[in-house]
Amino acid sequence: MTKPFFNYNQMKHLRIFSTVIVALLIASLASAQTVDTQSVLKPTKTLALKEYKVISYNVRLSMAADTDGDNRWENRREASLKMVAEQKPIVMGLQEACPDQIDYFDQNLTGYKHIGVGRDDGDRAGEMMAIYYDTSRLTLLKSGTFWLSETPDKVSRGWDAACNRTCTWGFFKVKNSNHGFFYFNTHLDHMGREARKNSIELIVAKIKELNPNGAPVLLSADFNSPTDNAIFDPLKAALHDARSECKVTDNSITYNGFGKIEGNPATNSDNEQVIDHIFYSGVTPLTFKVLNGDYGVPYISDHYPIAFTFRPGLAKSGRARLLNGSSPRKKNVAPGIATQKLGSTPAKNCPAKEGKEKCCSGNSCKMKKPAPTKK
């Protein structure tokens, strides 16, 4: 039998050390830069009549052409444009977007601009958590990117992650209105359990740091975990889960593996494949939809895009999630929406995706032996 690299006591000390580092990192953010939202967004009690849509879309990196075959990016990119043209999002967060994919969207996505940087050099190398925004409806006031690591202000890899991971954010004002919002877009690691847990804590801390006045917030991601995982507890204390809060909602799987995932996509039976989510605060939720329709190819990605429709402002019956972790009242779940108990399942390592991700730079991410796939 091979001797373990670390014994039990050493592993225990490593976990304690990791927890302390995260706590110190979060505490250090208190002195970091904030965004002045009060001078831009004037208080209003009027609920906007216009509806807006945010889309989260893991595009599946183009560097995987050798393994994706007929599903490679060149065969899917026009369908991706068709999806955006049909859905008309006011903002859209991409995950796994490589430089050539960003270039394609920039050249063909009329009326949109993007923000974001490559995760491997802070410029163009590696995947980008790009945010595309409709320039006819939004004005970008401030933006940035931080790394999901112990050193978020520089290119880095955090905790037990297999790859560098980033979160891109923007503060937007809706044109000709008093409304605006923050939008955060990210992609949690597909291998590192500690990385996923600590990344969520870091993101929540960053939201509080950048947004001390409580402006509306949208957060989208491929979280590589279902929301019944206990790692979401800090996030649920700060923001709402759009899938659970919308009266018109959709519990279909979001990771399809280009058709390799078994199960009925119209149900939540394959819960561990429901790993793409949108969270929000300060807006009125309307609908949540998994975009698994026909855009001209069998699959536009190995993930289905997800769409959240909302109105800026809060309806009279709505509630505001306070960024100190409390909320004014509990919400009654609409009939037909499946509810899940926090912590009801152990942390998952997303077995369907493990060992498959490559970096846009052409280098493979650090790989580990995949966990057994659930039968």
Read off the pLDDT of residues 294-334 as tens digits, 9 standing for 90 and up: 999 999 999 999 999 999 987 754 444 444 434 433 333 33
Q: Is residue 242 part of a domain?
A: yes
Q: Is residue 149 part of a domain?
A: yes
| Number of CB atoms found within 10 A of residue 253's CB | 26
| Res. 350 pLDDT band, cuts 50 70 90 | very low
Q: Is residue 329 part of a domain?
A: no
* Separation between Cα atoms, residue 342 and residue 229, nearest integer Å: 6
CATH of residue 298: 3.60.10.10
The answer, as to whether pTM is greater than 0.85, is no
Domain count, the chain: 1
Say what the pLDDT of residue 371 is. 38
Residue 68 has pLDDT above 70, yes or no: yes
Q: What is the pLDDT averaged over residues 144-164?
A: 98
Q: Is residue 22 part of a domain?
A: no
Q: What is the pLDDT averaged over residues 76-99?
A: 98
C-alpha count within 13 angstroms, C-beta hemisphere, residue 32: 18
Say what the pLDDT of residue 36 is. 77
Say what the pLDDT of residue 195 is. 98
Q: Is residue 21 part of a domain?
A: no
Q: Is residue 335 part of a domain?
A: no
* Separation between Cα atoms, residue 53 and residue 82, nearest integer Å: 16
Give Cβ neighbours of residue 166 (< 8 Å, ≥ 6 apart).
Answer: 116, 117, 119, 128, 129, 145, 146, 147, 148, 186, 187
* Separation between Cα atoms, residue 135 and residue 170, nearest integer Å: 13
**Domain span holding position 256:** 46-312
Q: Is residue 2 part of a domain?
A: no
Q: What is the pLDDT averaged over residues 114-142?
A: 98
Say what the pLDDT of residue 28 is. 52
| Res. 173 pLDDT band, cuts 50 70 90 | very high
Q: Is residue 365 part of a domain?
A: no
Q: What is the pLDDT averaged over residues 123-133?
A: 98
Q: What is the pLDDT averaged over residues 90-106?
A: 98
Q: Among 122-136, 138-152, 180-194, 312-326, whose mean pLDDT is lowest? A: 312-326
* Separation between Cα atoms, residue 306 and residue 322, nearest integer Å: 25
According to the per-residue pLDDT averaged within each range, which of 9-23, 47-61, 299-313 is highest?
299-313
